[in-house]
Copies of this chain bind each other. A is one copy, B any other.
Amino acid sequence: MLHMPFEIHVGPNVRTSPYFDATVADGVRAFSVYNHMFIPGNFGDPDAEYDRLINGVAMWDVAAQRQVEIAGPDAERLVQAITTRDVARAAVGQGRYVCVCDHDGIVLNDPVLLRLSAERFWLSIADSDISLWAKAVARERGLDVRVVEPDASPLAIQGPKAMDVARDLFGSWVDDLRYFGFRETALDGIPLVVARSGWSKQGGVELYLTDGSRGGDLWARVKLAGRPYGIGPGAPNDLERLESGLYSYGADGRYQTCPVNPFEIGLGALVDLDGDDFIGRDALVRIKAEGPARRRTGVVLDGPPVAGNARPVALRRGDDAIGVVTEVAYSKRLERSIGHALVAVGTPDDGLTAMLDDGPRPARLADLPFIKTP
């Protein structure tokens, strides 16, 4: 995040989340827009928000992580067609991190797939209109499915104390959920799906609220349960994800502007080339055989703490453009400026220069993650 003192233009062309009023009441300072919906960016105290995520527990309005629901007799066929993993092996109650690729193997999104029943799936998506992709494929193939956006809005509880809050809310069964495991339940009559997931490496759950009129109620209930653990509001944290090596569709690549394939960005493990056919499979077989031309990596920048960046910047070695630095931030834990980069395979690790907007910086490559969580 780069602090620039601009307001956000609020109008009905961007949707509000079910938690919008609650986050306003709790002092949200900045919003971004994700899947055409306002999503909190921060609550005015980045250091405290980061600290809660790393050492305590944070609650985030991530309703903008919308669901694409695919339901009907041909649901499994469609999900198989548009995701890189073998869907026949996806069990009800056990989510999986997947890629959606185009016919050339380019990543269009990296959602979590939830199988709610034999014939009903959710793709919990990053920031692109995957429902358009899914619907076009479904109708062009004549599949008997519905592709809709359900009333399902995640609220994330993240941090080392997140499972304590979840246990107090739901009971000890939440500890039995494996990572990406989920269960439909209710909380004081508020219908939701509890999933062991979230866009951080600090652990916790996401509550997929399935009655949008109850957003304020759920927010208040989580806040109350979290009070003994020092819970506070926050938002998906750019610094933590850079430290932890999480991929950010949009920041690290976007099919329109920086097309990447799964092997380049370290998501090759999500590609099941031995399973059933899917869109992009032939291209990915070829790419895997040839070896990807680029790779995602960490980068360390010398000099004073970086302020952040508003856009990707070039990474050079001498006069050669060897890649792009996608996002940077200053890590107090590491006491250095770090970032993610996409570089040509074979690039030497050092002697590089990152062309930040405020001037060039000596840089060197580093392995991801910067910080491993236990």
Contact = CB atoms under 8 A, between A and B. Distances in A.
Nearest to A14: B32
Contact of A132 (B4, B129, B327): B129
Interface in A59-100: 66
A243 interface: no
Contacts of A288: none
A42 B248 CA distance: 29
18 contacts: A2-B10, A4-B8, A9-B42, A10-B310, A11-B32, A11-B238, A12-B310, A12-B312, A13-B248, A14-B32, A16-B311, A36-B128, A102-B135, A103-B139, A128-B132, A132-B132, A132-B136, A149-B257
Contacts of A11: 1-2, 32, 238, 251, 308-310, 327
A354 to B, nearest CB: 13
Interface string A306-332: 001111100000000000001100000
Q: Chain copies in the assembly?
A: 2
Classify the interface of chain A: helix, strand, loop or mixed. loop
B16 A10 contact: no
Given A12-B309, A14-B250, A133-B136, 7 more contacts: A2-B11, A9-B32, A11-B309, A12-B311, A108-B132, A130-B132, A131-B255
Contacts of A137: 136, 140
A131 B15 CA distance: 22
Contacts of A5: 7
